[in-house]
């Protein structure tokens, strides 16, 4: 009888060890999600002509540059990184708006374990992902003059409102210490679609984000798309855009940006962003 009990206990331990081993294997996947709309989608797709042909031939089924670079990195570095993309927010029911107000509205004002208008809150996203990357579409640069009183609950695109909303978003992200967040500086527009006043306000906001809002030694990191687009100017350079009246990135710019974003992502994951600049260049 004792022999049977010992055998049963031994068998139970083996099953438990196997189960635990399986759970650990499943948890070893390091998951990244990229929240975006159209400009982000163009960068996600990138330009495969700017990738080493051997990498492309090794992964013929992957047609977008960002996931292709991750697949190659996993194969050669024995890493286990998984990156996926997500339109956020969706066109319906929330609406196709991803400006500071909208992240504040979904993640701070309506925080919790229940989706808001079918959009995942940070409580939900952080359960599934180790890294959350997010950005704004280029109309974020249409910043109007400040009103007399700032209002965190207003969707008016003003500097005062943006700063209040960004401070609240930062405090919320700090609650999730095991998650890393990568924030794009906002996309800007070509000169034909942005007044000089709007362009100056956009530069003021993005400078505030990189020099004041961002702080060292926390779980939030910057990727400076604005600097790549403008190269020190006020507008998205026409030669990097689809055309002089279309502020989406062209394929050549998207390919370069995808390479730099990939480098920045890897550096943030593995070195807390210490070996690349905010634009992703190696230091």
Phi and psi at residue 13, to the nearest 5°: -65, -40
Domains and CATH numbers, the chain: 27-271 (3.40.50.1110)
**pTM exceeding the 0.95 threshold for the entire prediction:** no
pLDDT per position as a tens digit, 166-200: 999 999 999 999 999 999 999 999 999 999 999 99
Q: Are 94 and 118 in contact (CB under 8 A)?
A: yes
Give the span between the Cα atoms of 219 and 242, in whole angstroms: 34
- Tens of each residue's pLDDT in the chain, 283 residues: 444 444 444 444 433 333 333 333 445 899 999 999 999 999 999 999 999 999 999 999 999 999 999 999 999 987 999 999 999 999 999 999 999 999 999 999 999 999 999 999 999 999 999 999 999 999 999 999 998 899 999 999 999 999 999 999 999 999 999 999 999 999 999 999 999 999 999 999 999 999 999 999 999 999 999 999 999 999 999 999 999 999 999 999 999 999 999 999 999 999 999 999 999 999 9
Give the span between the Cα atoms of 46 and 50, in whole angstroms: 8
**Beta carbons within 8 Å of 93's beta carbon, 6+ residues apart:** 117, 118
C-beta atoms surrounding 242 within 10 Å: 16
104 alpha carbon, distance to own chain's centre: 15
């Amino acid at each position: 009888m004792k022999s049977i009990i010992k055998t049963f206990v031994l068998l139970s331990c083996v099953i438990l060890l196997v189960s635990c081993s399986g759970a650990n294997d499943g948890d070893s996947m390091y998951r990244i999600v990229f929240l975006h709309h159209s400009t982000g989608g163009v960068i996600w797709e990138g330009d495969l002509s700017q990738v080493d042909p051997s990498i492309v031939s090794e992964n013929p089924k992957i047609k977008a540059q960002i996931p292709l670079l991750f697949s190659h990195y996993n194969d050669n570095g024995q890493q286990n990184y998984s990156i996926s993309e997500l339109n956020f927010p969706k066109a319906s029911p929330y609406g196709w708006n991803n400006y500071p107000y909208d992240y504040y509205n979904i993640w701070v004002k309506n925080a919790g374990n229940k989706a808001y208008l079918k959009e995942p809150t940070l409580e939900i996203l952080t359960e599934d992902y180790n890294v959350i990357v997010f950005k704004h579409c280029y109309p974020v640069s249409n910043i109007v003059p400040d009103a007399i009183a700032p209002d965190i609950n207003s969707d008016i695109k003003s500097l005062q409102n943006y700063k209040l909303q960004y401070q609240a978003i930062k405090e919320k992200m700090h609650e999730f210490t095991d998650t890393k967040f990568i924030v794009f500086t906002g996309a800007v527009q070509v000169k034909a679609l942005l007044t000089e006043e709007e362009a100056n306000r956009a530069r003021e906001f993005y400078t505030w984000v990189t020099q004041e809002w961002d702080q060292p030694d926390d779980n939030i990191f910057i990727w400076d798309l604005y600097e790549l687009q403008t190269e020190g100017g006020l507008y998205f350079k026409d030669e990097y855009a689809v055309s002089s009246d279309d502020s989406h990135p062209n394929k050549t710019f998207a390919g370069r940006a995808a390479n730099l974003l990939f480098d920045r992502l890897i550096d943030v994951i593995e070195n807390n962003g210490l070996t690349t600049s905010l634009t992703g260049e190696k230091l």
